[in-house]
Each structure stands twice: as structure tokens, then as C-alpha cells.
Structure 1
């Protein structure tokens, strides 16, 4: 395992221990709304602090982009930047719905190089290093071999922060409901992308994500043989927050349907 990936795994496990302890008494958590339908708990902040402590101890010169604390370090001149979501699926977590994860990625000059998505409820550790493949608990993983959209299970995320494009999303959802074997919305984009990488779902799309929601998952998919793009079929998903992903065969069938309903006012 690459040294930086090893540190990321250590940080993810440290955060997960905090999350697991808190999951026993979620009713006691203090929950705050950052915006409508977007929540943060003291556990999000504690887990993020634990991750940053581990990363800073090993790599004090690296920049950090984290969901709760934002950017830190000399990001303009940093060659490396860690992209962190300490608890992806907070709404699930505070309801006791066991679908959430720790997500940590490392980018070098804007290129994703290391990825960790850790599911503390199942003790599933997804890892990837650029050019070295993707793994689940040390077992090599690949995207599914499914080639027909009508036999595919597709993941998505419903709009929950902004609703400007909800009609376009519902049009995409309506068509794909009729043209696939099913659509799932578990509520953690990081895990959805990891599950695509290991073949549990065959495609995924969502709009309005943040870099920390998708950074690690994107690298997992790419290293597992899948394809990822923004809504225009380009690679600007980390900036636009809009992502389409899938197995090579399913991606090429999924993307045109998404594009057909993309409003002109929506960025790629």
C-alpha cells in the first residue's frame, strides 16, 4: 500500500471509531442545520478533526479541503491537497439509517491519486491508488460486466439542497425508471460510487455534489474500470458538482438520457 494511502486509511479508521461510538446513542446528538435539509453534528466535526490531525502529523505541508472546516494550508502553492468528507450521509446517520461513510482523497496538482471510502457499519474499506487498481478489504474489485441498460441497477441522489432543476431531474428519473431494472437512492454519494466500483450498481448520476462527496469515489470507479464525466461528457465534475458514472457499456447508454433532459441553464 502506498504510504500516503496508508495514512489515509489510518485517518479514516480513526474517524470511524468516533462515528461508531456515537451511533449507539444518536438521539443524544446535537444537530444543526447548515441550510435547509443539510445537517451537521458534533460527530461530523469531531471525525473531521481526527482525520486532519492524522494527516497533519504525517504531511504538515499538504493542503486540505474538508466539508466542515473548508480549505486550509497554502492551497495556492500546495502540490498536494487532501479532500475530506468525515461523514458522508449525515442525515442517514442521525436517523440511525446505516448507510454512511468516511471519504478521503488525495490530489496532486489537481489529479486524484489516492482514495479511501470506509463504511464503518459494515467494516468495508474501499481503497484505490492511481494506476494501481481499486480494492475492497484488500480484494481487487472491478465494475460489473453488465452491458444492457434495461438490466442495470442505477444509483442516484435526489436534489436536497437546491431545487432549481428538480423538474429536469424528475424527467431524467422518469425515463430511467422505465429503461432500467431499478433505481436506488441510499443517501451517501461516496458509498454509491464505491458500490459502483465493486459492481453492486451499474451506473450513477447526481447533480449539485461537492468535491468531498465524490473525489474518492471517482478514483475508485476509474481504477475499477468504469467511466466518469460531468453532464457534458467532459471531466469537469469536480467543479460543476454534476456527475454521471458507470461501467463502460452502461455509461454510454446512461449519459445521452441525462443530457437529453439537462436544462440549458445548468452547468455541465
Structure 2
């Protein structure tokens, strides 16, 4: 088990936030050198359905070198690095998605992101979600609010399900039962981290995902939503816990706090 630890203070969170912001910008610059240039790509994972490219691996290598050198006492969890579980022995862990939205990246879409979080005792304390093509840097640290390109952001003021805008995969936003609950479908975004970040920014009221997302898809955006006055929760209303043995999560929603209960009740039988 990890040794007892009292946790970081605000200065520590801020130092880690500056570190992950710098790393995210460097990673975005590297990814852009591959973007639109037909990088080598293949499929991975169970059923060989998840795309990965040489750009994903190059960015992962850069982030590994930059972040682990800066914080050698932190654990490491990345979508593109073999998980040796040594991360479970650390109080603090980097959780990284080198390119979130690889399908969008390979197709020339502009919504793919770099997602980096520092997690302490299972919850994110510093995070960056960077969308290089749109030049949008979303940042948050524990107790410090959520920010987009230097301006503070907050979730929307929507107070009811009727008329609430919804972003999610096609299987959710095109579901007639979901729409009959009063939700209004909006754009489909192939980066889950970005989908949640725009909820934090108040551009969309609700972000949804079916079961299956992993720690690296969620941790940084989770903090953005929380610090913007919202919640990222499963459909029983529970917060997500990161850096466990199993990194997968059930269906979930990102919402303004006032909508958390009603939205869970409405969507649980439909996408749970």
C-alpha cells in the first residue's frame, strides 16, 4: 500500500497545473506535425476496433519523457503505455490520453484533444484538455476554478430537462426515447474529453457517454466540470474514482449540479 500522505496544497496543485499545461502544448504541437499528413495507423484492443496511429505513440513518448522526468515520484497511466499496475503504489498519478479522438484526428476533424490529469487519492487535482486545431486550452486545478484560454468558465444555467441541449455519441443523441424526454440533440464530438469540456464551458447543458470509457478519457475533463460548477457522475449519481485496478467506467453524464438528479432519473433506463 502507498505510504500515508497528507496531500498537496494549492501551491502544489498550481505547480502541477503549469506542468501539465506546458506538456499539453508541446504535445499538441507535435501532434500537428502528423495531422492531415496520412500518418500510419492500425487497430488495437479487443476485436481490433480501436484506431491508433504513429502520432498517438509519438505524443505518448513525449509526454512520458516530459512528465515523468519532472515528477519521478508520480505513477503513470496512459492509453498508449502498457499498464504495469505500479501506479497503484503511488499517491499521485498522471493519467494521460495522448490523442483523445483518434478517429477524428485521422479523418481530419478538428475536435481531437490532448488530455492530461494529475490524480491524487483517486480524484483529479490538476488537469488540461487541449484542442490544438481550435486553439482551445481548458485548464482546472482543485479549488481554483475552470478556465478556457485565460477566461473563467462555468456550466450553463439550465435548470430543467425540457430544452436542455445534449452532446453524446450518435446512439444517444439520435435515440427517440432520449429526445422524447425533452432533451435537444446537438453536435456529435468524437473526443469524449472535449465533449465534457464544452459542458464545463456552458456551451452544452449535458454531455453523455455509454458504458466503456476509461480513466484517460475522463480524469482531466472531470475536474473541469467539477470546478465549473457541475458534476461528472455515473447514472446512480456517484462520482468517478480513478487509478483503480480496473480503469473502465459505466455510462455517465456531465451536467450542471442542479440537473444531476433529474437527468440521472431520466437517462438511467435509456442509456444505463
Global fold match (TM > 0.5):
yes
Contact 1:67–1:84, Cα closer than 8 Å, also in 2: yes
Partner of 1:192: 195
* Distance apart, 1:15 and its partner CA: 0.9
TM-score norm. by structure 2 comes to 0.86
* Residues 118-267 of structure 1 aligned to structure 2 (within 5 Å): 118-158=130-170, 173-178=175-180, 179-207=182-210, 208-236=212-240, 238=242, 239-261=248-270
Deviation at 1:244, TM superposition (A): 1.4
1:31 match: 41
Q: How far apart, in 2, do the equivalents of 1:106 and 1:72 lie?
A: 18
- 1:70-93 deviation per Cα after TM superposition (whole angstroms, max 9, x unaligned): 335832321110000010000011
Is the 2:233–2:252 Cα contact (8 Å) retained in structure 1?
yes
Match of 2:88 in 1: 76
Alpha-carbon shift at residue 250 of structure 1 (Å): 3.1
* Distance in 2, Cα, partners of 1:53 & 1:241: 31
What RMSD, in angstroms, separates the aligned Cα atoms of the two structures?
2.0
For residues 16 and 10 of structure 1, what CA distance do their matches in structure 2 show? 10
Match of 1:48 in 2: 60
Unaligned runs of 5+ in 2: 1-12, 243-247
Q: Secondary structure at the match of 1:127?
A: strand
- For 2:48 and 2:179, locate their aligned partners in 1 and report how far apart those are by CA, in whole Å: 27
**1:126 and 1:136 in contact (8 A); partners too:** yes
- The CA distance in 2 between the partners of 1:233 and 1:24, in whole Å, is 40
Instruction: Report which stretch shifted further, 219-228 or 176-185.
Output: 176-185
Alpha-carbon distance in 1 for matches of 2:62, 2:139:
19
Report what 2:69 is aligned to.
Answer: 57
Q: Distance in 1 between matches of 2:201 and 2:118?
A: 20
Question: Residue 108 of structure 1: CA displacement?
Answer: 1.0
Question: Does 137-146 or 177-186 show the bigger shift?
Answer: 177-186
**8 Å CA contact retained: 2:100, 2:112:** yes
Contact 1:117 1:216 in 2 (8 A): yes
Equivalent-residue separation in structure 2 for 1:53 and 1:109 (angstroms) = 23
Native 8 Å contact 1:177 1:183 kept in 2: no
Structure-1 residue corresponding to 2:118: 106
